[in-house]
Amino acid sequence: MPDSTPPRNGLAHAALAAAGIIWGTPFLFAKIALDELPVGHMLLYRFVIGSIAFVPVAWATWRPIPRADWPLLTSAAVLGVPVQFLVQFEGLARTTVSHASLMIAALPILLAAGAARFTRERLTRQDWVSLAVATVGAVLIGAASGGDGERGATRLGDALVFLSLLATVAWILITKRLTQRHDAAVVSIATIWLGTTLLAAWTLGADGLPALHLRAGTWLALVAQGVLATAGATLLWNWGITRVPAGRAGVFTNLEPIVGATLGVTVLGETLAAPAIVGGVLVLAGAALVALRPAPEAARPSARPTWSSPTAPAR
């Protein structure tokens, strides 16, 4: 049987690396925007801008999704946009960019566990070791948080960021099921657009209309989140993952917490206590063990390019 693994592709690796780096920036941009906007309004601006940026892709790929699949699509939209991001960025408002970024590094391990539980994927001994290592790391990061520091890391903030990852895992698994029936680009765009509509309904009801007169720096942070992190990085990732085996591509997601923590320390002047540094290293090590494991033969991606992949994180 011929090997179906896509050939090595330097541009694909560069695209995946660029996506991982870009996904490390939203927490920094969010901290800038949160100085002037509440969480709901900041996210509403981000996703409206990102939704507009997806219009050209939708024009080229759109196909209607049958009514029978709308309950599943709605579940993905609810979990993937308002639940995931409102919880995550409420956590960010109560912790530091560095801590939030290191907590995000646990996503590959949580996804592996979720896939084993709900899609019957088998976890190897290496996977269980990865889960144990990353769990210890997450506990150490939480233990390094203060109790109620207004500008520092807090246990509540770290806990909310971690809780948002559970919504992320559920969203990815539901999306994976939908993409087995429909074009991945259509599923991804429909999820973002529906999720943005639901986010708008919640935010406008809870917080009213967002302010229009914002500082130039705030607008730049919002545009960067919407165009770069929501639309651009997703397209880069999903172009690259069609040309690189998923097991190898997962390594590049580890750039996200590294970049995010580095930006928090260097740009915002945040500090990381020794337990948080050790915990971050353990979480990254656990994620690397998962990402570097050999991909099963049946799990290799097809060479047919798609705009979106169910394993791509949303940032």
Evaluate whether residue 306 is within a structural domain: no
In a domain, 14, yes or no: yes
> Model-level pTM?
0.74
Burial class (CB in 10 A: 0-12, 13-18, 19+), 60: exposed
Cα–Cα distance for residue pair 259/271, rounded to 1 Å? 15
Compute the distance between CA of residue 156 and CA of residue 289 in angstroms, rounded to an integer. Answer: 28
303 part of a folded domain: no
Q: Is residue 86 part of a domain?
A: yes
Would you say residue 312 lies in a domain? no
When mean pLDDT is compared over 134-148, 208-222, 249-263, 288-302, the highest value belongs to: 208-222
For the residues 67-83, what does the mean pLDDT come to? 93
Indicate whether 156 belongs to any domain. Answer: yes
Three-class secondary structure of residue 146 per DSSP: strand
Instruction: Give the CB-side neighbour count of residue 55, counting CA atoms within 13 A.
Output: 5
**Residue 16: its H or E element:** helix 10-22
At 252-304, the pLDDT tens digits run 766 777 788 888 888 888 777 777 778 778 777 776 666 566 555 444 444 44
Cβ partners under 8 Å of residue 158, min gap 6: 91, 95, 99, 100, 103, 141, 142, 145
Q: Residue 112 belongs to what domain range?
A: 10-295
Inform me whether the pLDDT recorded for 205 exceeds 60: yes
Is the pLDDT assigned to residue 48 strictly greater than 90?
yes
For residue 175, give the nearest of 48, 69, 58, 302 by alpha carbon. Answer: 69
311: in domain: no
Burial (CB count within 10 angstroms: exposed 0-12, middle 13-18, buried 19+), residue 229:
buried
State how many domains the chain has. 1
Provide the percentage of residues in the chain whose pLDDT is more than 70.
75
Closest CA to 177 of 79, 69, 81: 69
Q: Could you give the CA distance from residue 279 to residue 283 in angstroms, rounded to a whole number?
A: 6
Domain-located, residue 314 = no
Q: What does the pLDDT average to over 233-245?
A: 72
